[in-house]
A = this chain, B = another copy of it.
Amino acid sequence: MGKLNMPRTDLALEVRETFPEDDVEIQGVILKEEYNKKKDIKVTTVTIKDERGSKAMGKPIGTYITIEAVKLDEKDESFQEPISKEIAKYIRQLAGEVSGKEILIAGLGNREVTPDALGPQVVDNLLVTRHLKKEYGQEFLEKNKMGNISAIAPGVMAQTGMETSEILRGIIKETMPKLIVVIDALAARSVSRVNKTIQITDTGISPGSGVGNNRRALNKESLGVDVIALGIPTVVDAATIVMDSMEHFMQGQGFAEQEINQFTREVGEQSMRNMFVTPKNIDEAVKQISYTVSEALNQCFA
């Protein structure tokens, strides 16, 4: 499958899957898979080591950990605790020592749009500790192995008139955190990934991504501090779903790639542009997942 589809997914894992031979090694890219049968959680780590791998994947150099947990959006608390522990484990792996460390957690997205409200809802459930330092001193945080945690849900540009990166840069200048953790809802390509998957990466994130505007990117280069990004796919673009079904069908029927690209481009330009596909339980699922993610962050940091 060609370049055409790349912008349709924010998940490194899905990019990897678009390569025709699944088990062939890509130069500069390391793939590691773990499966915890008891928890029914699969973890895939894609490490892009150099420019060659970066070019092949269309993603920056860095580590991309994808946790696939089919029960992530289920209401039953007994499923949520093991998942949040698993998420916490991999965040810790990228975050390093946290005791007393200044960390700003940013929940991106628009809280008025259900599938985009995940980031702000994570922030709603976080335990922040930065103001405790003023009251009880740095020793209090270190004794309790807590991070020095602040949090913000900055909203989106249509609400604020500002780029998310502008708001975060300003807050960073004023409060000087050592690490930024951003949480954002993503678009997946595959319906089966929606609300079942978390990508954790040290390469940052591009809100409204695929656009290639570096000022918009949230990464070490644009923010000046280390960034860990948690992305959870909560939607599929409606056009993507149609295009992918079509491609699959047309490939099966022996159409030439050029014909396929021509056709899918037409579909993508039509009325579905402002439509997305979500599960019927999206309101409940976003509430559930945001709770699990904030539990994971609270376990790591507070």
Contact = CB atoms under 8 A, between A and B. Distances in A.
A128 B242 CA distance: 34
Contacts of A238: 191, 238, 241, 277
Contact of A113 (B173, B245, B274, B281): B281
Interface stretch (A18-26, A43-51, A145-153): A145-153
A40 interface: no
Q: How large is the interface on A (under 10, 10 to 19, 20 to 34, 35 or more residues)?
A: 35 or more
Interface in A135-188: 149-155, 157-162, 166-167, 169-175
A279 interface: yes
A37 interface: no
A278 B275 contact: yes
A10 to B, nearest CB: 16
A114 interface: yes
Contacts of A274: 279-281
Given A191-B271, A242-B245, A283 B161 contact: no
Given A112-B284, A161-B131, A241 B173 contact: no
A81 to B, nearest CB: 11
A123 interface: yes
A194 B238 CA distance: 14
B170 A157 contact: no
Nearest to A124: B112
Interface string A116-134: 0000000110001111100
Contact of A162 (B113, B155, B171, B242): B171
A192 to B, nearest CB: 6
Nearest to A154: B152
Given A149-B161, A161-B131, A167-B171, A114 B154 contact: no
Given A112-B283, A114-B283, A283-B114, A129 B173 contact: no
A82 to B, nearest CB: 16
A276 to B, nearest CB: 6
Interface string A259-281: 00001000100011011111111
A288 to B, nearest CB: 12
Given A170-B170, A277-B277, A271 B162 contact: no
A261 to B, nearest CB: 14
A123 B249 CA distance: 45
B161 A129 contact: yes
5 contacts: A128-B160, A131-B162, A132-B161, A151-B160, A241-B242
Given A194-B275, A275-B278, A275-B280, 11 more contacts: A113-B283, A114-B114, A114-B282, A124-B159, A128-B158, A128-B161, A131-B157, A166-B175, A170-B170, A170-B172, A192-B271
